[in-house]
Amino acid sequence: MRFGKLSICILVGTAIMLLCATAMASGILVKEGSRGPDVLTVQVLLKEKGFFKGKEDGVCGSETVNAIKKFQASEGLEVDGICGMQTYRRLDPHASDIDINKGVEGGHPVFVHASAYSPEETSGVTSLGTRVRKGIIASDPSVIPMGTRVYIPGYGEAVAEDCGGGIKGHTIDIAFDTHAEAIAFGRQDIEIYILN
């Protein structure tokens, strides 16, 4: 009887290690609507820590997002319900071995100096003629070409649709819908992920 329980524990431990190895090999980004082995890994880790009570099914629904938010709050992280590299490193102490060069969703990481802007501070129109709104960035086209999709931790996905005289090299301007949101963001040195 004891041998049977020990065997089950070893099997479960091995399965968790394999799941973690999969996530570490490919980079990780789990957000609402995500599916697959990375989601399953995050669910298992959240359950181990007592934050997730649902079924470990590899589908990131509202229950998984809420568990991620509770975990982030307990760790003093930004509470956005997205398990990216920073959150995952807190979930799994071995996450420092992740090959982040493979990046998020197949992207690759780029360190940039980021500032923020809104339609209130501009003409309200981008260099491509689209409306300034959340979900776009201004970049140096020689570094991040127009039309490039990026992922910004704590902000989400954005598309390079704007450029400006002050945007040179590894500098970006992140668009927000209001001046207050742009002021709250301020200026930060951050890692973003080029998705295409």
pLDDT in tens, 121-165: 888 899 899 999 999 999 999 999 999 999 887 788 899 999 987
pLDDT of residue 18: 43
d(CA 86, CA 47): 18
The stretches in the chain having pLDDT less than 50 are 1, 9, 12-26, 96-103, 105
Which DSSP state fits 88? Answer: H
Scored b (16 or more CB within 10 A) or e, 17-51 reads eebbeebbebbbbbbeebeeebbbbbbbbbeeeeb
pLDDT of residue 23: 40
Burial of 97 (0-12, 13-18, 19+ CB in 10 A): exposed
Burial of 196 (0-12, 13-18, 19+ CB in 10 A): exposed
pLDDT of residue 148: 93
Scored b (16 or more CB within 10 A) or e, 53-76 reads eeebebbbeeebbebbbbbbeeee
pLDDT of residue 98: 42
Beta-bridge partner residues of 131: 125
Domain with CATH 2.40.40.10 in the chain: 107-194
Tokens found for residue 153: 């931790």
**CATH assignment of 107-194, given 3.40.190.10, 2.40.40.10, 3.40.220.10, 3.30.2400.10?**
2.40.40.10
pLDDT of residue 138: 95
Its pTM stands at 0.50
pLDDT of residue 14: 45
pLDDT of residue 164: 80
Q: Hey, what's the torsion of the CAs at 149, 164, 125, 187, to 10 degrees?
A: 70
**CATH assignment of 2-100, given 3.90.1150.10, 1.10.101.10, 3.90.76.10, 1.10.3720.10?**
1.10.101.10
pLDDT of residue 90: 86
